[in-house]
Amino acid sequence: MTPDVIVVGAGPYGLSATAHLRSAGVDVGIFGDPMSFWRSMPKQMLLRSNRTATSMIDHLGPYSIQAHAAETEAPLEMPYPLERFVAYGEWVQRQVAPDVDRRNVELVGRAQDGFVLRLEDGETLRTGRVVIAAGIAPFPRRPALADALDPRFVSHTADHQDLSTFSGRSVLVVGGGQSALESAALLHESGADVQVLVRATRINWLHGGKYHRMLGPRASLVYAPTDVGPLGLSRVVGATDLFRRLPRSVQDPIARRSIRPAGAAWLQQRLRDVPITFGRSVESLRMVDGGHVGAQLDDGSERVVDHILFGTGYAVDIARYPFLDRTLLQRISRVQGYPLLGSGFESSVPGLHILGAPAAWSFGPTMRFVSGSWYAGRTLARKIVGAPLERGTVHRVGAG
């Protein structure tokens, strides 16, 4: 029997949606490879988020990272290693979605009485409601000037799981955010000859719990547990119901300030021997004889290296979800690639909900991070069930 709700995606947002819906008694089917995006990230990476914000579903309760540590005796030191976070996510999946169907969803289209989904093996399913929690894997921001070059010489940080393959090669890393800077550190530690190019005039370093320690018990007054945004603004963006009702002229500058490119302060020591050039950008690229690539900078200088790695982040555009039927896509109201979402993350197509980073335009910058899954799962369930679900009401729904 086809479930009443089908969730597409088995990362933090898909798992949160499934947990909250099942806790409310909704018949849910979930499809996807659990934590697949996180497993594709470079080995040995560390999470920038603090302890509470590293939790899925909620930072309290049976699926929190503290609950995982207590049950599995996993260490909780910060910064949290990527491989340990993946293990935590797989532990959550075994609790809330032990029956996850790992087949890929190849098509989501509109049907007369709801939606039709086609799976990778050709099986089709029909359901009245679909929740898309498919993550950001299709959205790397790749500069157009790199389009004509061989990907062996120019790539994005999203393309690599093992940066040690660059050992002994020269690499120019472009970007001043966490992904670019941590990739540069890993490349350097793997024996690559690395240099970094940052368009801004400085790097914004995040000092973790520095102000939390200074403020002590009063820190919770100015920092939300979601850990998104600086002192004070953290509370504003963490109050999603409030933030989404602010005028767009207020939302936009707060969002920009909350998610501007930045690096964790613990990277500074690891990058002390890596040359960093500030205030410069790449204007053009060309192949150089001998299997090298040249980057022409805006000051007229050129850097010739074996490889250029762009750490230029992600740009949401749901049209790049390969499974969305084009006719259905045209019916989704969008702005700058983001779907316009109403209550319960419902799109302009009734019964179609979209969670995660694509919801950031409508629900704020917290939706770009794992901690946004707390609000998303709870609010989605409240919309579908039609009754309020308060924080802390989610309970275990599966066997571990």
State pTM to two decimals. Answer: 0.92
Dist CA 190 CA 136 (whole Å): 27
Residue pLDDT tens, the chain, 400 long: 688 999 999 999 999 999 999 999 999 999 999 999 999 999 899 999 988 899 999 999 999 999 999 999 999 988 999 999 999 999 999 999 999 999 999 999 999 889 999 999 999 999 999 999 999 999 999 999 999 899 999 999 999 999 999 999 999 999 999 999 999 999 999 999 999 999 999 999 987 666 556 666 666 666 788 989 887 888 999 999 999 999 999 999 999 999 999 999 999 999 999 999 999 999 999 999 878 999 999 999 999 999 999 999 999 999 999 999 999 999 999 999 999 999 999 999 999 999 999 999 999 999 999 999 999 999 999 999 985 444 444 545 443 3
Give the SS3 label for residue 259.
coil
State the fold for domain 5-139+314-385.
Answer: FAD/NAD(P)-binding domain (3.50.50)
State the fold for domain 144-204+262-310.
Answer: FAD/NAD(P)-binding domain (3.50.50)
Contacts of 104 (CB under 8 A, 6+ apart): 31, 32, 33, 119, 120, 323
Give the SS3 label for residue 132.
strand
Q: How many CB atoms lie within 10 A of CB 79?
A: 18
Q: Where do the structural domains in the chain lie, given as residue ranges? A: 5-139+314-385, 144-204+262-310
Amino acid, res. 325: D
Dist CA 172 CA 288 (whole Å): 15
